[in-house]
């Protein structure tokens, strides 16, 4: 269930660097403007450029002839309406917008299918089919539940390119998988939470239970970050069992606040955990985009994605013929993931702890899931002197760290 790594995305990256297509991802480590709400146009497109690349590992399996830019048509499936909220769908669509501007595509070259339930295979198939019928030659399906239907349709339409976000399936030809080392940023946000809690009760609204490694790995990385600075703090998880459930997310956040949690983090699509935390007068950790705009008095920082970097490189690889069907798995060193600047009301010393940990992650000194890790059932995972591999992190974490409790 592991992910492969980028092959010819390095070629696309080199081309894009030469063309200065991506903004705000320079050597300073600053993340893309689209993730931080600054806005591409506000920068005038003059920022330092750098394209996200992943480590090369898998061999190229297919090569394409390329498609002229004016003939490119991009389809994207969204769980919800990106105009409504600041979460997962919103951030992915900012990435699509960034790609469109970076590559100079017109509005009619982008086809969006919104509010596509990823638990409904027929709805997923219909949305993908509509994209194909409208002439899309690359289709991004952005949620876990779209995976199997995307895989099926990639076999049915070998001349169309499919790219699935999260999950683990691909075919090495016209269907790849993309995600990132979000656990690195989760760890840093855990340090922030651990430094700023006073009750030592930290809440976490989770979309899925421990059977989903994407969510569980994020929770564990967050808890490990907390533990590194505050071993007395506990993490309480409330599961909604849905990637997008505004009412469920609101209820989960309220339950955690009622328990006395004074920092609320999240892996869910809406900003309700943030706004409810602000109403309660406690702190929050945002996810996907900079949620300080939703809760400026509560949000300590946000764990963010820079999806425009990947989307730009992927579409460029279709244009220039360097697409090879390999999977993509970037991290902080590629500026795919990061945390936003800390709120000025964080306690003294928070910034220093975060900077130290970030340096260690970027240098390879800290792999987050290092050594022997104790779970909340008393069992252990990992080995002394080793770090969990990508395959385990992305598909094999079905346990919680020892400081984590699930709230029923």
- Tokens 């199997």, residue? 148
C-beta of residue 306 within 8 angstroms of C-beta of residue 25:
yes
- Answer whether 9-181+305-338 and 182-303+339-406 agree in fold: yes
Q: Which residues contact 90 (CB under 8 A, 6 or more apart)?
A: 82, 84, 288, 289
CATH of domain 9-181+305-338: 3.40.50.2300
Characterize the bridge pairing of strands 175-180 and 328-330: parallel
CB-based burial label for 18 (10 Å; 0-12, 13-18, 19+): exposed
Neighbours of 200 (CB within 10 A): 17
Give the model confidence (pLDDT) of 223-269 as tens digits: 999 999 999 999 999 999 998 899 999 999 999 999 999 999 999 98
Helix (H, G, I), strand (E, B) or coil at 354: helix
- Give the H/E segment covering residue 273: helix 272-280
Per-residue pLDDT of the chain (408 residues; tens, 9 = 90+): 333 334 444 334 333 333 322 322 222 333 233 333 333 222 223 222 223 333 333 333 455 689 999 999 999 999 999 998 788 899 999 999 999 999 999 999 999 999 999 999 999 999 999 999 999 999 999 999 999 999 999 999 999 999 999 888 999 999 999 999 999 999 999 999 999 999 999 999 999 999 999 999 999 999 999 999 999 999 999 999 998 899 999 999 999 999 999 999 999 989 999 999 999 999 999 999 999 999 999 999 999 999 998 999 999 999 999 999 999 999 999 889 999 999 999 999 999 999 999 999 999 999 999 999 999 999 999 999 999 998 899 889 999 999 999 999
Q: What is the dihedral of CA 47, 48, 52, 56, to 10 degrees?
A: 170
Task: Report the alpha-carbon distance of residue 361 to residue 173 in Å, rounded.
Answer: 32
182-303+339-406 architecture in CATH?
A: 3-Layer(aba) Sandwich (3.40)
Bridge partners, residue 237, by sequence: 204, 406
DSSP 293: G
Exposed / middle / buried, residue 348 (Cβ in 10 Å: 0-12, 13-18, 19+): exposed
Would you list the domain boundaries of the chain? 9-181+305-338, 182-303+339-406
User: Quick one: how far is CA 332 from the chain centroid?
Assistant: 11
Tokens coding 313: 């490189």
Q: pTM for the full model?
A: 0.80
């Amino acid at each position: 269930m592991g992910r492969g790594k980028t092959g010819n995305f390095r070629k696309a990256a080199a081309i894009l660097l030469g063309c200065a297509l991506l903004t705000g991802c320079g050597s300073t480590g600053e993340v893309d403007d689209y993730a931080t709400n600054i806005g591409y146009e506000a920068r005038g497109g003059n920022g330092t450029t750098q394209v996200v690349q992943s480590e090369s590992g898998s061999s190229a399996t297919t090569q394409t002839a390329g498609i002229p830019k004016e003939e490119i048509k991009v389809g994207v499936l969204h769980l919800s309406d990106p105009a409504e909220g600041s979460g997962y769908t919103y951030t992915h669509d900012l990435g699509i917008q960034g790609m469109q501007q970076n590559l100079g595509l017109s509005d009619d070259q982008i086809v969006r299918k919104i509010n596509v339930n990823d638990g409904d295979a027929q709805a997923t198939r219909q949305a993908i089919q509509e994209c194909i019928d409208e002439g899309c030659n690359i289709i991004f399906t952005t949620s876990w539940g779209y995976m199997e239907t995307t895989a099926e349709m990639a076999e049915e339409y070998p001349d169309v390119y499919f790219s699935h976000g999260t999950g683990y399936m691909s075919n090495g030809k016209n269907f790849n998988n993309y995600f990132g080392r979000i656990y690195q940023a989760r760890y840093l946000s855990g340090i922030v939470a651990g430094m700023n809690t006073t009750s030592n009760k930290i809440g976490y609204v989770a979309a899925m239970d421990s059977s989903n490694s994407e969510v569980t790995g994020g929770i564990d990385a967050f808890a490990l970050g907390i533990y590194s600075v505050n071993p007395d703090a506990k993490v309480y998880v409330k599961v909604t069992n849905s990637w997008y459930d505004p009412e469920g997310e609101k209820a989960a956040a309220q339950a955690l606040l009622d328990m006395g949690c004074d920092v609320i983090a999240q892996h869910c699509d809406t900003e309700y955990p943030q706004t409810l935390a602000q109403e309660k007068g406690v702190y929050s950790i945002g996810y996907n985009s900079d949620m300080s705009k939703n809760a400026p008095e509560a949000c300590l920082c946000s764990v963010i994605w820079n999806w425009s970097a990947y989307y730009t490189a992927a579409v460029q690889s279709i244009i220039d013929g360097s697409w090879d069907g390999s999977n993509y798995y970037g991290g902080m060193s590629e500026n795919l993931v990061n945390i936003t600047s800390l709120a000025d009301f964080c306690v003294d010393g928070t910034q220093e702890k975060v900077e130290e940990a970030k340096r260690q992650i970027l240098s390879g000194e800290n792999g987050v899931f290092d050594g022997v890790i104790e779970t909340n059932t008393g069992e252990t995972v990992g080995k002394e002197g080793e770090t969990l591999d990508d395959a385990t992190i992305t598909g094999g974490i079905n346990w919680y760290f020892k400081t984590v409790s699930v709230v029923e």
